Structure 1
Amino acid sequence: MPNTIIIEIGIAVLLVALVGLLANRLRFSVIPFFIVIGMVLGNESYPGFVADGLASIGNESLTNLVNSIWKFFTFTESKPFIDFMGRLGVLFLLFYLGLEFSVGRLIKSGKSIVAGGSFYVALNFVSGLLVGWMMDLPFKEMMVLCGIMTSSSTAIVAKVLTDLKRTANPETEVIMGMIMFDDLFIAMHISFLSGLILTGSSSFWAVAGTSLLALGFILTFLILGRKLIPFIDRLLQEKSSELFILIIFSLLFTIAGFSETIHVAEAIGALMAGLVFADSKYLKKIEGMVLPFKDFFGAMFFFSFGLSIDMYSLGGAVGWAAFAALITVIGNVASGYFATKFSNLQPKNSVDIGFTLSARGEFSIIMANIGKAGQLLPVIQSFVVVYVLILSVVSPLLTKESRNIWNKLSGQKEAPKKAKKRLSDLEATIQEP
């Protein structure tokens, strides 16, 4: 059999690019498109209607040809490499998030964001406990589910705010502050899950020890980061682009790899590396160099996740995921209302905040992957696929129509649009004596 790994990867990247173009044409988030194309192509069995059609034709040569083509498009040979690219995608996504994150900015934002973020995290975490209890999940699976339902998608939220031109709106600062608070909680929760799941230990003290080690790892980077950055800046000074990016990537992979060796999720190591470089005077240059890698490997992360999912096994999770998505939207609107009270915003901004924050994506998938690495129940994987697909589609739509939805719920009439004056009307005005 000829080596097809290069052409398989080329076709995979081409397909990801094509669905990305389709998503942009539809002015929609690309994340569900990347996941769906991966799910469709990642199954060894093709859809039932194709099998039925081939059976009705009864041509053995045609059936063998279709089988060969379908086997090629399941990326059998290149799948391990695509999985590795997805793993790199996690590192670059979290590293870039760390570059954008600022603990000082969170503190400066004041009690409004801290209070709103605390209520947001608590409400979503309790929702995860409720759904996990109703699904009768074991403790480890329930903790992963709580993380899945608590982690908003920074990528989708940022894209929606940009596409709708709401970046200058007063509620946007609250939204971004609450996301920063949520990201900080997720970092802590991942460290807890690392001790609970990745160590493979059932001892309370072993789990507590690993969790405390992860917490110490995070705090060490937060405390020592500013002291290390002058040395890193001197290391980066007047370096060629080649050496500059080699130094950045070597530190990123070393920190992420070290965190994995002490049973802390490598994603946390990448996030901490980003936090350190966030104080560098070369921040803009680092962001500019890392952004293309984040976009490329981030897309492959969602695609590789889709490849790992058997779309024919999702049926049992659809009902629970839809129920969880409904609870998430309602709970986030409630947390948005609570945030507006502390931020002196108008009540109508609560739906803007709630609908925007309902998006789920990269962090929910990272949580599910931790569960997969710990060999937890497969229902977690099925649940997160449907849950992320629903909210990554519904949240942008609700955010776009948030003002109309508020007007209907509150009984207010939509403000009439100003009539556009025609050129003939202006000419008539000028001609009047």
Structure 2
Amino acid sequence: MHSAVFLIEFGAIILGLGLLGRFAARFSFSPIPLYLLAGLAFGNGGLLPLGASEEFIAIGAEIGVILLLLMLGLEYTASDLVSNLKTQYPAGLVDFTLNALPGAVAALLLGWGPVAAVVLAGVTWISSSGVIAKVLGDLGRLGNRETPVILSILVLEDLSMAVYLPIVTALLAGVGLAAGSVTLAIALGVAGLVLFLALRYGRLISRFVSSDDPEKLLLVVLGLTLLVAGVAQQLQVSAAVGAFLVGIALSGEVAEGAHTLLSPLRDLFAAVFFVFFGLHTDPASIPPVILPALALAIVTALTKIATGYWAARRAGIGVKGRWRAGGTLVARGEFSIVIAGLAVSAGVQPQMGPFATAYVLVLVVIGPLTARFTEPIAAYAARRRGTPTTPVAGDGATAAEPVTDLTKAGSGDVEAGSGASGRV
């Protein structure tokens, strides 16, 4: 009987997610808000609480995070990472300063303490590359001059997770300064070792994993990822970082084949993850935090616009392109939920879950709107002030060599029917 109830519940969840994904794709927006709302509806305090399938959903959610980070790593080569670090790090520093600090300050003002401040800083810092990738495609901006600037910022945010996640994991585990430093040193050491091996022996590693049989390739890559993620978690580093490093170590045809094979699994388990996060958020706990979450969303939307504007200006992009870059970066999504989920699981701050849910729901909805309308609104405001609107060098919509590959934006968001790679 228990097995029958489990199958009914889990089957209904998967079917519902599929229908929600189709609905979102039809109206060209991210399905993440719908997945979160579905979790709220079926969680504690919701319309129809689940029982039999909740434990399985929890395991599926953990696998979803691991696959999201694996797919993210597959999008990059070690040389890509090193190149972006060397050339774009000033934009990354500005991005961190303008967008992480508001989250930290908000947590302290709410009285949540320093650990929650570090967590909320990450929630407000990281943009959703999956949503952004889809928006760029929908708006026909793949060849715009500002697009490489946007992608570089997203890449640097992804790279930062390899350092940030071990720090958060150590803080949430309540370990001391010495133990936390050891954890971070291990994480950085492992990351550095993987980058060295990928640069020096990447072809050999990929050749070892490679197989002409899709079934064998899927089993080897998935098994290796789960194994490394488990070992990383045992070392208090982070299962997500371990999966990310496995993805970086694979390249060429192996990475492309693994990406194709694992994409459906990623989409399935990532959707389950968002539902799981919603399940553990009581809908009644959202109204008390909706106003501070909305205020923080407005502030960090403006700081992301400022980040994109500054980075595009540094790259020599014209005024219109600067506003487009800033507006495109506003959306938050998968990583914000992952980071908040770590805090909720550790029991650090009960209000973190509903706060992050409300915050992400706001920005994942208005993000595509700011991407579309920031530049026209800025142009209108300039005309009202009497500022000249004559195009300058770099304002053109397309570059001499169009950017047609969005895979460097990272992977992870579940974009039903979009075909765009994104990050969780």
What is the TM-score normalised by the length of structure 2?
0.86
What code does the residue aligned with 2:151 have?
A: M
Task: Give the structure 2 partner of residue 81 of structure 1.
Answer: 56
Task: Give the structure 2 partner of residue 360 of structure 1.
Answer: 332
For structure 1, the residue ranges without an aligned partner over 5 or more in a row are 47-69, 416-433
What does residue range 195-234 of structure 1 map to in structure 2 within 5 Å? 195-198=170-173, 200-201=174-175, 203-234=176-207
What code does the residue aligned with 1:118 have?
A: L
**Cα separation, partners in 2 of 1:112 and 1:323, compared to 1, 3 Å:** farther
Retained in 2: the 8 A contact 1:194–1:211? Answer: no
Is 1:343–2:315 an aligned residue pair? yes
Is 1:28–2:40 an aligned residue pair? no
Over residues 118-147 of structure 1, what are the superposed CA-to-partner deviations in whole Å (9 max), with x where a residue is unaligned? 211121122222212221221111100111
**Cα separation, partners in 2 of 1:248 and 1:103, compared to 1, 3 Å:** closer
Using the TM superposition, name which of 174-183 and 188-197 deviates more.
188-197
Q: 2:262 aligns with which of 260, 265, 290?
A: 290
Retained in 2: the 8 A contact 1:364–1:384? Answer: yes
What code does the residue aligned with 1:28 have?
A: F
What is the distance in 2 between the residues matched to 1:392 and 1:276? Answer: 31
Task: Give the structure 1 partner of residue 114 of structure 2.
Answer: 139
Retained in 1: the 8 A contact 2:206–2:254? Answer: yes
Shift of 1:13: 0.4
What is the distance in 1 between the residues matched to 2:12 and 2:46? Answer: 19
SS in 2 for 1:170: coil
Retained in 2: the 8 A contact 1:334–1:350? Answer: no
What does residue range 258-269 of structure 1 map to in structure 2 within 5 Å? 258-269=231-242
Q: 2:222 aligns with which of 249, 254, 263?
A: 249
What is the distance in 2 between the residues matched to 1:133 and 1:325? Answer: 16
Q: 1:153 aligns with which of 120, 124, 128?
A: 128
What is the distance in 2 between the residues matched to 1:129 and 1:283? Answer: 37
Over residues 31-56 of structure 1, what are the superposed CA-to-partner deviations in whole Å (9 max), with x where a residue is unaligned? 1111111111223453xxxxxxxxxx
Over residues 5-52 of structure 1, what are the superposed CA-to-partner deviations in whole Å (9 max), with x where a residue is unaligned? 112111000111111111112211111111111111223453xxxxxx
Q: Number of residue pairs matched?
A: 386
What does residue range 319-338 of structure 1 map to in structure 2 within 5 Å? 319-338=291-310
What is the TM-score normalised by the length of structure 1?
0.84
Shift of 1:332: 1.1
Task: Give the structure 1 partner of residue 359 of structure 2.
Answer: 387
What code does the residue aligned with 2:7 have?
A: I
What code does the residue aligned with 2:245 have?
A: M
Using the TM superposition, name which of 312-321 and 128-137 deviates more.
128-137
Q: 1:305 aligns with which of 270, 274, 277?
A: 277
Retained in 1: the 8 A contact 2:106–2:296? Answer: yes
Q: Which has the higher contact order (CA 8 A, sep 6+)?
A: 2
What does residue range 93-242 of structure 1 map to in structure 2 within 5 Å? 93-108=68-83, 113-198=88-173, 200-201=174-175, 203-242=176-215
Shift of 1:231: 3.5
What is the distance in 2 between the residues matched to 1:284 and 1:399? Answer: 30
**Greater C-alpha radius of gyration:** 1
Task: Give the structure 1 partner of residue 373 of structure 2.
Answer: 401
Using the TM superposition, name which of 350-359 and 257-266 deviates more.
350-359
Over residues 153-198 of structure 1, what are the superposed CA-to-partner deviations in whole Å (9 max), with x where a residue is unaligned? 1211111111111111111110000110111112211111122223
Retained in 1: the 8 A contact 2:327–2:375? Answer: no
Q: 2:287 aligns with which of 277, 298, 315?
A: 315
Is 1:40–2:32 an aligned residue pair? no
Shift of 1:311: 0.8
Shift of 1:349: 2.1
Over residues 233-267 of structure 1, what are the superposed CA-to-partner deviations in whole Å (9 max), with x where a residue is unaligned? 33344442221111111111011111100011111
Retained in 2: the 8 A contact 1:196–1:211? Answer: no
Shift of 1:402: 2.6
Over residues 47-69 of structure 1, what are the superposed CA-to-partner deviations in whole Å (9 max), with x where a residue is unaligned? xxxxxxxxxxxxxxxxxxxxxxx
Retained in 2: the 8 A contact 1:197–1:374? Answer: yes
SS in 2 for 1:411: helix
Shift of 1:414: 9.7
Task: Give the structure 2 partner of residue 91 of structure 1.
Answer: 66
SS in 2 for 1:384: helix
What is the distance in 1 between the residues matched to 2:316 and 2:200? Answer: 38
Over residues 381-419 of structure 1, what are the superposed CA-to-partner deviations in whole Å (9 max), with x where a residue is unaligned? 11110010000001111112233212222227999xxxx
Retained in 1: the 8 A contact 2:78–2:249? Answer: no
What is the distance in 2 between the residues matched to 1:322 and 1:144? Answer: 18
Retained in 2: the 8 A contact 1:147–1:186? Answer: no
Retained in 1: the 8 A contact 2:128–2:333? Answer: yes
Query: Kindly, what percent of the aligned residue pairs are identical?
Result: 30
What is the distance in 1 between the residues matched to 2:60 and 2:215? Answer: 21
Task: Give the structure 2 partner of residue 273 of structure 1.
Answer: 246
* CA RMSD across the alignment: 2.0
What code does the residue aligned with 1:212 have?
A: A
Shift of 1:102: 3.7
Shift of 1:77: 0.2
Retained in 2: the 8 A contact 1:360–1:392? Answer: yes
